[in-house]
Amino acid sequence: MRTTAFRTALSLVAVGLLAAGCGADAGGSDESEPAPHTRPRALKVAKAWDGSAAAETWRAGFYPLGDPVQLPDDAFHSDADKEAYLTQNFTLRGDLPKTSRKDAKVTWRDGDSLTLPFMGARAAYDELGGSKAPGPRLTVTGAKLGETTLATGRGPATVPAWLFTIEGYDTPLKRVAVSPSKPPKPPIGPVGSLSSELWELGQVVGVAADGRSVTVRAHHGACDDGPAVDVLETNGSVVLSGSMVGTKDGFCTAQLLAKKVTVELDRPLGDRVLLDAFTGRPVRGTE
């Protein structure tokens, strides 16, 4: 089942009722603290990945850096429609195409391509969500096979997609019709535990058309000024280090919040591996 970027942005993961300061240092002040020193860890992650077998496998596969679901151009017409999408409340009114094809091709701008198992219309519809929860619903009246462009770990690619007709909308909702490749085993492990100096990043929200910026969901707590994302660029990788800034003293609810952060790059991302310093793994798109 897909995980939407919208729900991720609003999610709260409760880890306790009260905490004596959300940062590691409960004796901090209300003033913003300087950014943590993340470079040593980022350098270790880059060194482990650059030139590794895992990096070669990553560049040979299909790893989306964006949501496999692309909304209609005029989405949404109402709060009710948005709620229906977020809660995965869809109704099918009509028939979906049936096909006997078993695989489909993903093609990159340099001409390279990769053949992957094909996802039928029914399976793609099921990925949109089959919630039977009460509340508003979006109605799918049909679908046809087409294609779309999607940011990937090897740059923009043309991928097959099911174009679902949504009642009341002039343009289709697109769902990518192939699944990501199996990720390689990372050559470095994660940081031992969560700390105020380094936090695990969430999903990639998007990559700019020119590849010069990346937007990710970065985590922070309820007692700080928000997340920060530092970047380390090498010829083979871009390592992102997520942290929180401005931790404050006092009691507060201990929550994990998410916020979109856009990181500017010195040069286009290209086929460099986008990595999370905390996990030591590639930052993934929504699946």
244: exposed, middle or buried (Cβ count in 10 Å: 0-12, 13-18, 19+): buried
User: Hey, what are 282's tokens?
Assistant: 């590639």
Specify the pTM. 0.78
pLDDT (average), residues 15-40 = 41
> Of 27-31, 63-67, 137-141, where does the model show the most confidence?
137-141
**Whether the bond into 76 is cis, omega within 30 of 0:** yes
Q: How many residues does the chain have?
A: 287
Name the residue with tokens 């560049």.
59
Nearest CA among 232, 227, 221, 213 for reference residue 48: 232
Report whether pLDDT(1) > 50.
no
Phi-psi region of 270 (alpha: psi -120 to 50; beta: other; left: phi over 0): left
Tens digit of each residue's pLDDT (9 = 90 or more) over 42-55:
999 999 999 999 99
pLDDT (average), residues 25-38 = 40
Q: Write down the pLDDT at residue 7.
A: 33
Nearest CA among 242, 234, 230 for reference residue 273: 234
Tens digit of each residue's pLDDT (9 = 90 or more) over 88-136:
999 999 899 998 899 999 999 989 999 999 999 999 999 998 777 788 9
Nearest CA among 150, 200, 201, 138 for reference residue 179: 150
Report whether pLDDT(37) > 70.
yes
Q: Write down the pLDDT at residue 85.
A: 94
Q: List Cβ neighbours of 47 (8 Å cut-off, separation of 6 or more).
A: none
> Of 47-56, 61-70, 183-192, where does the model show the most confidence?
47-56
Q: Which residues pair with 105 in a beta bridge?
A: 115
**DSSP designation for 106:** E
Q: Write down the pLDDT at residue 30.
A: 28
Q: Write down the pLDDT at residue 120.
A: 95
Q: Write down the pLDDT at residue 199.
A: 84
**DSSP designation for 187:** S
How far, in Å, CA of 124 to CA of 154, rounded?
Answer: 24
Contact 279/193 with Cβ under 8 angstroms? no
Q: Which residues pair with 233 in a beta bridge?
A: 238
pLDDT (average), residues 65-79 = 93
Q: Write down the pLDDT at residue 265.
A: 95
- Diameter of the chain measured on Cα atoms: 64
Q: Write down the pLDDT at residue 23.
A: 36
Q: How confident is the model at residue 247 (pLDDT cuts 50, 70, 90)?
A: low
Of 172-181, 210-219, 274-283, minimum mean pLDDT range: 210-219
pLDDT (average), residues 50-63 = 95
Residue 110, helix vs strand vs coil: coil
Q: Average pLDDT, whole number, for the chain? A: 82
Share of the chain above pLDDT 90, in %: 60
| Radius of gyration (C-alpha) of the chain in whole angstroms | 21
How far, in Å, CA of 159 to CA of 152, rounded?
Answer: 10
Domain boundaries, the chain: 5-60+186-276, 69-176
